[in-house]
Structure 1
Amino acid sequence: YNSLQTASHNNAVCPATLSVKDLVRVLYGGKRFGNHVDEVWPNLFIGDMSVANDRYSLWKLGVTHVLNGAHGKMHSRVFVHCAVGVSRSASLVLAYLMIRHHYTLLEAINKVKERRWIFPNRGFLKQLCALDMKLRQFTGY
């Protein structure tokens, strides 16, 4: 895990060489528990439906938008949720960090894992790997 994290940070690991198994190993590392909501990027939260259904909690967090697939303004505080807040919502946030902030998949995973335990399912990981490869082809990052 540490060698993958360090190598990725130094751009020494190409995502084409990382398998879903490698990514699962990274995801298993670190804390393995989650809160109902965590701020994983400035003004960007991942959480579960209990928070999504609690207007007072959203208000306390300063959340102005709940992700519904539409792109919001960058100055808004956005809460991304799914049923448990570890797979589907995490995948959406990872894709966002990759597309808008030019993170590699591994860098995005490590960034989010600094603040929240996530575990996208293998199907989402395959899609994120494909996105990572496509972004590298088109942008050269």
Structure 2
Amino acid sequence: MTTTNTPTAVTTTSAAAAAPAPQPRTVKWVDLKAGDCLADPPPTDPAVVMVSVVDCGQPHSAEAYLRAPIPVNAALADVVTSECTTGFQQYTGATPGAGRYSSTYLIDSVQDRTSDNPYPSTVICLLQGADGKPLTGSARR
């Protein structure tokens, strides 16, 4: 009986495992920053303090695109609309309402009438899908 040892080639293939999607994090909505994407629509109930922020590559309901101080006793709707419109154009390169996105806002009103702060509140502008469907990817240009 004759035994022959034949060398065998062993090929190994290593595939890089896809990194798991980052987990949502919970933050106070007053702490939202431009580029934060919300898992759910912006809160309308004043009792809601916390929101879930997800990676913008995942489906999300809204994206914060601007934080801006606003003056006390201002014609709120006019000031907010102006700030959010300008911020929207700078963030996306598009005009609000003229395409894929709609715009909304939240106001963090920390008005302290005893201080001499002419800008005691902050508007947080957010964009959403114009069709109401979830977004995937950032709108930032």
Q: Do both proteins adopt the same fold according to a TM-score greater than 0.5, normalized to the shorter chain?
A: no
Q: TM-score, normalised by structure 1?
A: 0.29
Q: TM-score, normalised by structure 2?
A: 0.29
Higher RCO, Cα 8 Å, sep 6+: 1
Considering fraction of residues, name the structure with more strand: 2
Considering fraction of residues, name the structure with more helix: 1
